[in-house]
Structure 1
Amino acid sequence: MSEYSAPAGAPVWFDLMSSDPAKAAEFYRAIFGWEVEAPREEFGGYQNFTKNGRRVAGLSPWMEEAGGPPNIWSVYLRTDDAAATLEAAEAAGGSVMVPPMAVGDEGTMAVVTDPAGAVIGFWQPDRHQGFSQWGEHGTPYWFECHSKDYAKSIDFYPKVIGARLEEIGTGGDGSPGPDAYSQVFVGDSSWSGIMDTSKISPPEVPSFWQVYVTSDDVAATVTQVESLGGTVLMATEDTPYGTLATVTDPFGAVFSLGHPPAGM
């Protein structure tokens, strides 16, 4: 396990909006060993998943009257000034969904839609510092923007979060293609990427941010997911970037699993 403290622009939190939070909590406890804090009624019943006694992800009930899809994972990038980040996002072609909103003394959240249509959150920490573990079973592995308009995405994020992109898969010429991919560097490190999915995702699937969670044994976790009522979208596959799979929980929320290559 690696200790992690998100710098500005890097992933700081991810959370699940679920149509059945209690049963979802049972599912994620079974596959990742997550425990769950008591719901906070002042925050709409929001709960924090914990791993090793430390917060790792969030869990929110879906409210039909609020609109939006149920059973979906969301990603938040750290900001030290939510208002300034949203100004930068709008200037770069994004649209504000949720303006900066104080969440008690936990921090300030905001949500935008990037120019390619992916929803991305921002979190300005106060007492709630986000997740602090990386690379152990049940903790983050990677985060990824699946973009239907790769050119817009790779233009947007550097302007908004001050990131440096390192492109792979296109020969470095910057032209989008079926394998176009950029790692997103904040300082000297990268914890997320942007992938061109315009040619590989069905037309009805929009741009979105994908969550990857570390698994000690991806194949075994996939089998467990199926036994608990989840489904497999991408079977276990060995890649240069680790052993990967994509699954859903029993209610349809999509997430990926990852295990690092040998020696990494």
Structure 2
Amino acid sequence: MAERTGYIDGEPCWADVVAADVPAAQHFYEAVFGWTYADTGADFGHYVMCMKNDRVVAGMSPPMPGSEQLPAAWSLYLMSHDLAGTAHRIEEHGGKLLVPPMEITDNGRMLFATDPSGAAFGAWEPGRHTGSQLFDENGALCWAEVTTREPTVIDFFYRGVFGYRQTRIPTVAGSGDEPFDYSAWSLGDADPVAGRLTMTAEWDGVPAHWTVYFATDDTDAAAERVLAAGGRVQHGPFDSPHGRLAVIEDPNGAVFTIISRCY
């Protein structure tokens, strides 16, 4: 079990989903990943902690008042032990703060922002809550990538904000015959922690966004559970150099990717 008690700055550390129908979402993710749930109560807007094997792995909440018409979506949070400094660098490098640094009681502090291409992401400064307690484990967050039409601008932005060492991978074998442009982002000499994918013509009409990946032991079996639980398989399953993937839409319309790793 890949247990985590903390993350370094710039690592994907948390993801949460806004669901118009929370009971439907809970039923779906329980069926797909085996998650169980703990509602944090009215004082926290009934934010739900999603758990795998009694470890906290993700969050879930109903829409905030006034935002009920916004589409359901998964949001990614990157670790920051200096949220004020991160907020400054976001604006300095052309991003926009949507939610400036704010306290979440003694759990920690958060901000929410968009990068220069419009992709939304959060940053988390830990208190009691240090992020997902499992990583790269069945039913837990394992990867994240930003998808954009402005790769040069976005590489510059995230390098300036989080100091990523970026390795461009110009040709990657995917599910089709066409190569695509990808950069893997690392922190120091460590293995990559996130990536950047350049949109092609097939992404017409899709805005820039971050995609969260959850690990599964068997992508094909998980895709079957998705369909049985009322979700949709948008793409796949298909093989990649790093594992077998499928792009999933939950019953509320939130999109994420599942992967069974090949090591």
Q: Shorter-chain-normalised TM-score: which range?
A: over 0.9
Q: Deviations over 1:19-66 (max 9, x none)?
A: 011221111011101111123211211111011111100001113513
Gaps of 5+ in 2: 173-177
Amino acid at match of 2:152: A
Q: Indicate whether 1:2 and 2:2 are aligned.
A: yes
1:231 counterpart residue number: 232
Choose from 198, 202, 225 the match for 1:196. 198
8-17 or 127-136, larger mean C-alpha shift: 127-136
Residues in 2 aligned to 1:56 and 1:227: alpha-carbon distance in whole angstroms: 23
* Structure-1 separation of matches of 2:105 and 2:142: 29
Deviations 1:70-97 (A, max 9, x none): 3100000000111110110000000110
Distance 2:179 2:160 in 1: 24
SS of equivalent to 2:197: strand
- Output the CA distance in 2 between the equivalents of 1:26 and 1:144: 27
**Alpha-carbon distance between aligned partners in 2 of 1:83 and 1:129, rounded to the nearest angstrom:** 18
Name the counterpart of 2:165: 164
**Where does the alignment leave 5 or more consecutive residues of structure 1 unmatched?**
172-176
| Cα root mean square deviation, aligned | 1.7
Q: Distance in 1 between matches of 2:254 and 2:21?
A: 11
- Which aligned runs of 4 or more in structure 1 are off by greater than 2 angstroms? 1-5, 66-70
Aligned position for 2:116: 115
Task: Report the equivalent of 1:174.
Answer: none
Amino acid at match of 1:2: A
State the shift of 1:196 in Å: 0.4
CA contact (8 A) 1:178 1:198 kept: no
Q: Structure 1 75/254 Cα, relative in aligned 2: closer, same or farther at 3 Å?
A: same
Further displaced range: 46-55 or 106-115: 46-55
Q: 2:14–2:141: 8 Å Cα contact kept in structure 1?
A: no
| Matching residue's letter, 2:56 | R
Following TM superposition, by how much is the alpha carbon of 1:255 offset from its aligned partner in structure 2, in angstroms? 0.7
Report how far residue 69 of structure 1 moved. 2.2
Q: Secondary structure of 1:159's partner?
A: helix
Matched, 1:140 2:117: no
Instruction: In structure 1, give the amino acid aligned to 2:249.
Output: T
In 2, Cα distance between equivalents of 1:78 and 1:153: 18
Give the aligned length. Answer: 256
Identical aligned residues as a percent: 37
* Cα 1:57–1:98 shift into 2, 3 Å: same
User: Deviations along 1:89-128, whole A, 9 cap, x unmatched?
Assistant: 0000001100001001100010111001100100001000
Report the AA paired with residue 17 of structure 2. Answer: L
> Quick check: 2:15–2:76 contact (8 Å CA) kept in 1?
yes
Q: Do residues 81 (structure 1) and 82 (structure 2) align?
A: yes
Deviation at 1:14, TM superposition (A): 0.3
Q: Distance in 2 between matches of 1:210 and 1:131?
A: 16
Looking at structure 1, the residues matched to 70 and 48 of structure 2 have their Cα atoms a distance apart, in angstroms, of 19
Question: 2:144 & 2:60 partners in 1: Cα distance?
Answer: 18
Asked if structure 2 preserves the Cα contact closer than 8 Å seen for 1:149 and 1:198, the reply is no
Question: Counterparts of 1:1-264 in structure 2 under 5 Å?
Answer: 1-4=1-4, 5-63=6-64, 65-66=66-67, 69-169=70-170, 179-187=180-188, 188-202=190-204, 204-261=205-262, 264=263
Aligned partners of 1:147 and 1:198 also within 8 Å? no
Determine if contact 2:15/2:141 at 8 Å carries over to the other structure: no
* Alpha carbons 1:32, 1:138 under 8 Å: kept: yes
CA distance in 2, matches of 1:200, 1:182: 19
Structure 2 length-normalised TM: 0.93
